[in-house]
Structure 1
């Protein structure tokens, strides 16, 4: 009886082994034969969303790759040459001479400093003003929609229109700014706002803040309206004052709105070339010069293309330094 049992056991083991050997390839994550696996991968790839969507994003992606990123790469190569804009650039001897020249150029130092001041002051002031106006509008004021539309209207204007408007506003004789100061008895404060080196940059920052604080107001208002009323009520029940309520409870929840608005403001600050060009031309002076104006002046007015390309790459690095971390954070959050 014991021998018979052993024989039955051996037969069952052989049968099981035979079944495993002759079993069909699994498609549910188990062991799969090599040929079937490759065929399954090919069929899944042919049915994938990537391949199905390729005709829609492929052509524009190639165009962006060539005309945007290709142009950026070519601009970087040009900055490593000594090309003056005449003839063809010499790619045989590339060097960092133009970037070394930037380090000793007083005009570049002034333009770089002014660009940083413009970025920081314009961005911070626009965020603060936009937040305060958004909190005011969030109190259910009368004619809220009308006020919101009027306050956001400057955002729809181009830099050219804004520059012409503020060149009249800052006019030392007939400008509205000085007229208002004279009418309230502060004639001693009237200035030649766009001629005095002490006030040029401040006047530019104020005008740009007027144009873009409405955008910040809309972004913050959307963030405020997304916060549940229960949090306001709970804070008031705990005895929190209005200032403490917004400082400790509401404003910390507006980080996403702040980050989104900051990126947009920085990009527009870096693109303020139109505004300054209309006001001052290619020579705004060291007190108001910024990198974008310097790039245009060096490349197209002085015909120093390699040096202008080096300034452009510094400007591109500044923009990438702001947008890069933002995209990384959005990717980590799963929002890209």
Structure 2
């Protein structure tokens, strides 16, 4: 047992390692008996439990690493807090989704748990529409943002003038909050005085009710989100392009490849890691589009045709006070998030990056 505490002490106190070496040296000198014998380790530690704990610690070290026990005092407290306030809350939310809890009249009844809220969701046309809109938003927003970011990164990587200025301009919208972005695009999409209608009016088109037409409102929201996050994709791709050796470009040119073929067949395939990382982050941002839609209309009900699972979840929980139904929608969103992040974590683990 003393050996375990000494290892923990060495992890906390930098100077304790030197003291331990001195004590070990002194212990070796004391281990020599005057009659020529040698003191056995077990004879100095009559507590047999110490040997068992030492063997247990050695087994844990062999399985999880030599610094697992020493570092536990640093990672166990935040691990417990994370488990209580994050994953504990997720489990509690899942239990609420199995009840019929509504309003604030009584506490949830956990004696009769079932999946009624999930079957209700599958039979709810509003939930189905919100799920479809969420899927369209994630796919279109992620693919469009990656495409715009890649084009911008290629243009900047070719050594244009004022490169730093353009990079700052493209990245600046990402620093804005969803609230600011929503107000900005609410002004642009204004039916009477918006810039969008003024621009298309120059070619004799419009005006168009960008936020009132349920056929195009979702695409208007996607375009606004692409404007905000294309700078992030540009930075990720630019870092990937700068990591590709110049020899690859030169070899492609020597083989007679055109610029388009060089990027399509040689350069872009080497950006697989950057594409996966950026896509995961963008999908997470897409799932958090509730802030944008809420600020766009100033309420829980987004424009017709732009309702997503996040807005429906909040509306059911806080406007209609259907807590169990809102919790079920939240669990569906959580499962979608796991479906996005889970494969990415497996991919990084197989590359030994985790």
TM bin (shorter chain): 0.7 to 0.9
CA RMSD of aligned residues (A): 1.7
Structure 1 stretch displaced more, 135-144 or 276-285: 276-285
Report the secondary structure of 1:196's partner residue: coil
Q: Give the counterpart of 2:131 among 112, 120, 127.
A: 112
Aligned match of 1:276:
293
Corresponding residue of 1:59: 77
The equivalent of 2:246 in structure 1 is 229
- The 1:111–1:43 alpha-carbon spacing in structure 2 relative to 1, beyond 3 Å, is closer
Partner of 2:146: 127
2:282 matches 1:265: yes
Give 1:43 deviation, angstroms. Answer: 5.8
* Pick aligned residue for 1:200 from 208, 217, 226: 217
Structure 1 residue 39 displacement after superposition: 4.3
**TM-score (structure 2 length as normaliser):** 0.82
Residue-by-residue CA offset, 1:198-233 (whole Å, 9 max, x unaligned): 221011000000000000000000000000000100
Matches of 2:289 and 2:249, distance apart in 1: 39
Q: Runs ≥4 in structure 1, deviation > 2 angstroms? A: 35-48
1:82 lines up with 2:112 in the alignment: no
Q: TM-score, normalised by structure 1?
A: 0.86
The alpha carbon displacement at 1:174 in A equals: 1.1
Q: Deviation per CA, 1:269-311, whole angstroms, max 9, x where unpaired?
A: 0000000011122112441100000000000000000000000
Structure whose alpha-carbon radius of gyration is higher: 1
Structure 1 counterpart of 2:317, from 299, 302, 310: 299
Q: Relative contact order (C-alpha < 8 Å, sep 6+): which is higher?
A: 1
Deviation at 1:189, TM superposition (A): 3.2
Aligned residue among 253, 262, 268 for 1:245: 262
Q: Is the 8 A contact 1:111 1:286 kept in 2?
A: no
Report deviation, 1:40: 5.3
Offset of residue 192 of structure 1: 1.2
**1:166/1:207 contact within 8 Å kept:** yes
Residue 140 (1) aligns with residue 151 (2): no
2 CA distance for matches of 1:143 and 1:285?
40
> Structure 1 pair 77/36, CA: closer, same or farther in 2 (3 Å)?
closer
* 1:101 paired residue among 120, 140, 149: 120
For residues 102 and 152 of structure 1, the distance between their equivalents in structure 2, rounded to whole angstroms, comes to 39
- Say which is worse superposed, 42-51 or 162-171, in terms of deviation: 42-51
